[in-house]
Amino acid sequence: MKRGAILIITLWILAILAILSIGIGGRMGLELKLTGFYRDNTAALYLAKAGIKRSIAVLQSEEHAVDSLNEKWSCNTEETDPLFKDIKVGDAGTFTVNYPFYDKRVFYGVQDEERRININNAPKEVISGLISYLDPANANAGEIAANIEDWRDADNTRPPPDGSPEPDYSEEGYERKDALFDSADEVLLVRGVDQGLFEKIKGYITVYPIAASAKINVNTASLPALVALGFSEDDANAIIARRAGEDGVEGTADDAPFDSNSFAVYLTKLAAPSAAVVSYGSQYFRVISTGYSSNGRARKTVTCVASSVGEILFWNEE
Binding site residues, Ca ion, CB under 5 A: 150, 153, 178, 244-245, 247, 249, 252, 254-255
For the bound state, the minimum distance from the C-beta of residue 191 to Ca ion, rounded and expressed in Å, comes to: 12
Q: How far is the CB of 307 from Ca ion (least distance, A)?
A: 27
Supply the minimum distance, in Å, between the C-beta of residue 69 and Ca ion: 8
- Dist CA 47 CA 34 (whole Å): 20
CA angle in degrees (0–180, nearest 5) for 146-150-156: 130
Three-state secondary structure call for residue 111: strand
CB-wise, 40 or 166, nearer to Ca ion?
166
Instruction: Give just the sign of the alpha carbon dihedral 73, 74, 79, 80.
Output: negative
CB of 62 to Ca ion, least distance (A): 19
Residues 243/249/253/257 CA torsion (nearest 10 deg): 10
The residue among 112 and 166 lying less far from Ca ion, judged by its C-beta, is 166
CB-based burial, 89-109: b 16+ in 10 Å, e otherwise: beebbbbbbbbebbeeeebbb
Minimum CB separation from Ca ion for residue 243, in Å?
8
Q: Nearer Cβ to Ca ion, position 51 or 245?
A: 245
Print the SS3 string covering 177-228: CCCCCCCHHHHHHCCCCCHHHHHHHHHHEECCCCCCCCCEECCCCCHHHHHH
Q: Which is nearer to Ca ion, 121 or 290 (CB)?
A: 121
- Compare residues 86 and 168 and give the one whose CB is closer to Ca ion: 168
Measured between alpha carbons, how far is 132 from 126 in angstroms, rounded to an integer?
Answer: 10
The neighbour count for residue 45, using CB atoms within 10 Å, is: 18
CA separation for the pair 132, 140 (Å, rounded): 9
CB of 249 to Ca ion, least distance (A): 5
Report the Cα 114 to chain-centroid distance in Å: 12
Least distance in angstroms from the C-beta of 195 to Ca ion: 24
- Smallest gap, in angstroms, from Cβ of residue 239 to Ca ion? 14
- Comparing CB distances to Ca ion, the nearer of 199 and 247 is 247
CB 280 within 8 A of CB 264: no
Taking the mean position of all CA atoms in its chain, how far away is CA 274?
A: 24
User: What is d(CA 294, CA 92) in angstroms, rounded to the nearest whole number?
Assistant: 5
Distance, CA of 68 to CA of 191 (rounded, Å): 36
- Between residues 70 and 94, which has the closer beta carbon with respect to Ca ion? 70
Considering the complex, state which of residue 50 and residue 146 has its C-beta at the smaller distance from Ca ion. Answer: 146
